[in-house]
Structure 1
């Protein structure tokens, strides 16, 4: 017979050993939010789940249970085969640790495959995420990368993270670049997904000396950043990156690739068109329509983004404010390395 496993034990095992977490909810439930690194092997499709739910409401729980077992019984060979293909220990979960995960765990166990069921299901994980965000003591000081649009802040953070530096990639967690054009080519994550990814990153770095973060506003796409993290950002060491405009245009084109998302780019621009002087707005729109993307980006920087963020440039004597200039992202990254080396030396 399968055994239940508590969430804290599951999270501990997930860190220390290979364990397969199997989400048996419907595809739309899984898409909405899941335990990170889990795989979706659903007991019901979205349509089947809706059918069983309707029977539950209009007839009885018993009738819904019978219909659910009837549907699932037709899928048993495929379901068991997919589970067996996963190497290592296995844990299944549904929404509340109810019939779906119980049925799935029972079938897998009967097929001779040891399996656990997550007690409380996804709801227990969701409660843990929210409670952790409310109570976490996050010690590291923030080192914040600021700068005009296109100064390669995200690119720099990715490079530093690949080198082992503690980086919170908020845009990556939100799957959004944080501007009106930020979701082009992406499907932004909802708050539940964002919170889930954020919690695991925070726990990884919570006792460090510092963490690197981009100077985001409170909202990134569909996600809202917790207040304690915004406070950390505001009180942190501020790096302000400066690059030539030509380099910024190059970085933006490389990141957004508007030639693959022309209609999305034009649609996004039309949301801000009224905020730009009419003749310039017309030229930007025509440039996007004609494929003159570099010119469109150059005009957007000059007449929209740079004026909006001009207040970010302040000649400050504060020791926590540092302007980092370079001709390329690589040069700026190297200068940030030097700054971080100094901080590490002071910490020692």
Structure 2
């Protein structure tokens, strides 16, 4: 029985080593690791049947049932799926939930077809616990600098130019507002936490003493930043980006209109993609209907519909009208109100270039 010990968890996760996740799809979909692929020993229904048998009749009866459910052609198909992945990724490892029976059985079945592959002791549960411990320890050890500013000021663009940052919105696949939904679904909460932990470990291994993050509420869409980390973010100094309103509007048109439409069309085709994009944008406005009030919502929706009609003719300029009003009447007042209680945390205000230069000079002495 060839195994990989818990002492190797960090190297496994930081090296992006290919991993075969043997858990059932229902387990995998609740949370996994970025470099893992789900090639289960048992399907969801098979796992459920074995679990019920275990509760009623004990381990031996459950194992016997498992072998009955996965034998012959079904077993050969699973062996073949593993073998094909291993042929493409010969340095892969196996893991199940606890590094127990499913890992041992799968390893034995691989040996039957001439493949010797290690499995990870402690399995998914062990690695998951290790990552959560790393998040808490590393986040507490790093000094954090939080980049803020009004909607559309380019906080994500700012972060992309730095090596000492983690893009939380990128990990969560959401831009953090009603309009922030992306074309693809957000990851599972647990998968987000796993990826965040690995990112923190990378920074620690690179010797970083600090971390630059975007100013975020606890929730990014439906993804929640770990409480301990978010509390630290709320106590950290703020660097505010100052950008002209024209630049903000132009960036919003690019990010939330042009780029998103392109993504929908690439996925769904010309006609359906454009329809789905328009539904996406109008639905985002509808989600803040109550906060806008009936009159403002109705007027903004008419303006947005006119802009979408013009967009079908290749014109994007009318989008600037509803965006400017939404910023002026909704997002900017809300941001100013939130900033009042955080004045003492503001360490710097300036343009993108000024903020980069200030941060670089400040952090060089840490």
TM > 0.5: yes
Q: In 1, Cα distance between the equivalents of 2:341 and 2:217?
A: 21
Deviates more, 1:50-59 or 1:232-241: 50-59
Paired residue for 2:171? 173
Q: Does the alignment pair 1:226 with 2:245?
A: no
Paired residue for 2:185? 187
SS at match of 2:92: strand
Quickly say closer, same or farther: Cα 1:345–1:98, change in 2 above 3 A: closer
Quickly say closer, same or farther: Cα 1:191–1:80, change in 2 above 3 A: closer
SS at match of 1:321: strand
Q: Note the residue ranges of structure 2 that are not aligned, 5 or more in a row.
A: 265-276, 309-317
**Cα pair 1:142 1:233 within 8 Å, conserved:** yes
Once the two structures are superposed, residues 102-121 of structure 1 have per-residue CA deviations (whole angstroms, 9 ceiling, x without a partner) of 22211223333331111222
Structure having the larger proportion of residues in helix: 2
Q: In 2, Cα distance between the equivalents of 1:271 and 1:63?
A: 52
Q: Does the alignment pair 1:64 with 2:65?
A: yes
CA deviation after TM superposition for structure 1 residue 122, in Å: 1.0
**Cα pair 2:86 2:92 within 8 Å, conserved:** no
Q: In 2, Cα distance between the equivalents of 1:143 and 1:23?
A: 36
Q: Does the alignment pair 1:151 with 2:153?
A: yes
Q: In 2, Cα distance between the equivalents of 1:245 and 1:45?
A: 54
CA deviation after TM superposition for structure 1 residue 215, in Å: 0.8
CA deviation after TM superposition for structure 1 residue 168, in Å: 1.8
Q: Does the alignment pair 1:335 with 2:361?
A: no
Given candidates 38, 41, 45, the residue that maps to 2:39 is: 41
Once the two structures are superposed, residues 137-196 of structure 1 have per-residue CA deviations (whole angstroms, 9 ceiling, x without a partner) of 632221211011111101211222xxxx21121112222211122224231233211211
Q: How many residues align?
A: 334
Paired residue for 2:249? 249
Q: In 2, Cα distance between the equivalents of 1:214 and 1:8?
A: 33
SS at match of 1:168: coil
Given candidates 28, 31, 47, the residue that maps to 2:29 is: 31
Q: Note the residue ranges of structure 1 that are not aligned, 5 or more in a row.
A: 326-331
CA deviation after TM superposition for structure 1 residue 242, in Å: 1.7
**Cα pair 2:242 2:350 within 8 Å, conserved:** yes
**Cα pair 2:139 2:229 within 8 Å, conserved:** no
Q: Does the alignment pair 1:208 with 2:234?
A: no
SS at match of 2:147: strand
Q: TM-score, normalised by structure 2?
A: 0.80
Given candidates 300, 314, 321, the residue that maps to 1:295 is: 321
Paired residue for 2:84? 82
CA deviation after TM superposition for structure 1 residue 134, in Å: 4.4
CA deviation after TM superposition for structure 1 residue 315, in Å: 12
SS at match of 1:61: helix
CA deviation after TM superposition for structure 1 residue 135, in Å: 4.5
Q: In 1, Cα distance between the equivalents of 2:85 and 2:24?
A: 16
Q: In 2, Cα distance between the equivalents of 1:47 and 1:251?
A: 48
Tell me how large the CA RMSD over aligned residues is. 2.9
Q: TM-score, normalised by structure 1?
A: 0.83
Paired residue for 1:262? 278
Once the two structures are superposed, residues 70-106 of structure 1 have per-residue CA deviations (whole angstroms, 9 ceiling, x without a partner) of 2741414522432332334221011222333222211
SS at match of 2:183: coil
Quickly say closer, same or farther: Cα 1:56–1:232, change in 2 above 3 A: closer
Paired residue for 1:328? none
